[in-house]
Structure 1
């Protein structure tokens, strides 16, 4: 029997996302590039999210529910890693359960990969819980490891990487900014991520982004820079860039 391997594997972690998951999966199913599989990974949900995925998978077998049971949350990184481990596509992409993709997202990334990109991301639109636009976060044309030290320049919902280049690399098990640490790890050996200028995704700003979380996030970035071997004096400079970039995105 011939087994067809999809071009893209899309990893979608979810926890109690029954209210937003249908729209997220609908945006995926509207992709102009149809050669994908979705690993929809349950992180201990107690709502109807898993049942919704099962129902949709009957209509579209490209959707695969991954559910190890239990209600204890593993966290975003461990949940995404379960999806990566189950993935079969050459390119691994990420989408959260309350975010949306524009229809040509995978098509445009496939074009960049065909042109030689090892990792591709794009600009994205920030929106509130009611779908109102809050501003665009533009993608830089190219991002190397050194460029990323001043803060996370890559929206996780827009990113995809080539497993032929990186293997089925997994995210570090960190409580915050695990995606940022992951990009740095992928780029550390000289790879350069390609940015697409188009807005290809919509990021929903989550409630609860209070000052305490921002302080914890800043501390996490400081630790990540240290783990990357950045010397203390340089770490201060890069950290100040991170603070300025974060403020600019919210103006």
Structure 2
């Protein structure tokens, strides 16, 4: 097992956390990776922090967009630059545990899986672990995923030898969910039930406004997936019910 992994990270005004994120990649026990960070026109010190790491480790790559375009466009640019067989995702405020790549790639290669994800825990702004943890579905079909996005973006790896490069649709939010549905049309997804990543909550990321995101899920059902109004309504209502269950 020595295939190159391309790690995709969109960056926007991430100076508060980007060093921790980079450190979690540099600390991986699996060493054959490239980390492609695409800056969506940050106005803070993100660029200088990333370049300080780039100077020490040639596996780190930096690209700056000409205009602010959103996380989906930044991720797609990084995917277009990727040279690895495997595409992995890590946002600029999240963390990987040291054995994340090694364990997940072994899981994929041992079982012949092409699309996988893992459990993840949740940390606060200071990096302290919270009680909430998210378990990955051990087996996921396209139909099951329509009810609710059950996958943490920071845990995903897909195999370009099976899919070729796959990109996110040009919508402002929930592009990751749309991509997972696209992949699930070609093969089932498999979850590795180990906590191998940490999702940071309580910041100003685009995922903070849960209600606002529902309209983007509707857009995915209707415009991206081409579902009928009735089916779209059913799945959106199901998503709302499932989200409410996590709070009560």
The verdict on a shared fold, with TM-score over 0.5 as the criterion, is yes
1:178-228 per-residue CA deviation (whole Å, 9 max, x = no partner) reads 110111111123x11110111111111143589x93332111112211231
Tell me how far apart the structure 1 counterparts of residues 103 and 80 of structure 2 sit (CA, whole Å): 25
Structure 2 runs not aligned, ≥5 long? none
> After TM superposition, which residue ranges in structure 1, 4 or more long, deviate above 4 angstroms?
none
Tell me how far apart the structure 1 counterparts of residues 204 and 12 of structure 2 sit (CA, whole Å): 16
Q: Is the 8 A contact 1:13 1:80 kept in 2?
A: yes
Match of 2:93 in 1: 98
Tell me how far apart the structure 1 counterparts of residues 70 and 205 of structure 2 sit (CA, whole Å): 17
Aligned counterparts, 1:187-198, within 5 A: 187-189=184-186, 191-198=187-194
Structure 1 runs not aligned, ≥5 long? none
Q: Does 1:82 align with 2:77?
A: yes
Q: Is the 8 A contact 1:6 1:88 kept in 2?
A: no
Count of matched residue positions in the alignment of Structure 1 and Structure 2 = 244
Secondary structure of the corresponding residue to residue 9 of structure 1 = strand
Tell me how far apart the structure 2 counterparts of residues 140 and 13 of structure 1 sit (CA, whole Å): 26
Aligned counterparts, 1:84-233, within 5 A: 84-114=79-109, 115-132=111-128, 133-189=130-186, 191-208=187-204, 213-227=209-223, 228-233=225-230
Secondary structure of the corresponding residue to residue 59 of structure 1 = coil
TM-score norm. by structure 1 comes to 0.90
Q: 1:113 to 1:134 in 2, by over 3 A?
A: same
Kindly report the root-mean-square deviation, in angstroms, between the aligned alpha carbons of the 2 structures: 2.1
Q: CA deviation at 1:46?
A: 1.1
Q: Is the 8 A contact 1:128 1:134 kept in 2?
A: no
Q: CA deviation at 1:129?
A: 1.1
Q: 1:249 to 1:131 in 2, by over 3 A?
A: farther
Secondary structure of the corresponding residue to residue 209 of structure 2 = helix
Secondary structure of the corresponding residue to residue 229 of structure 1 = coil
Tell me how far apart the structure 1 counterparts of residues 33 and 45 of structure 2 sit (CA, whole Å): 24
Moved more, 215-224 or 27-36: 215-224
TM-score norm. by structure 2 comes to 0.92
Secondary structure of the corresponding residue to residue 61 of structure 1 = coil
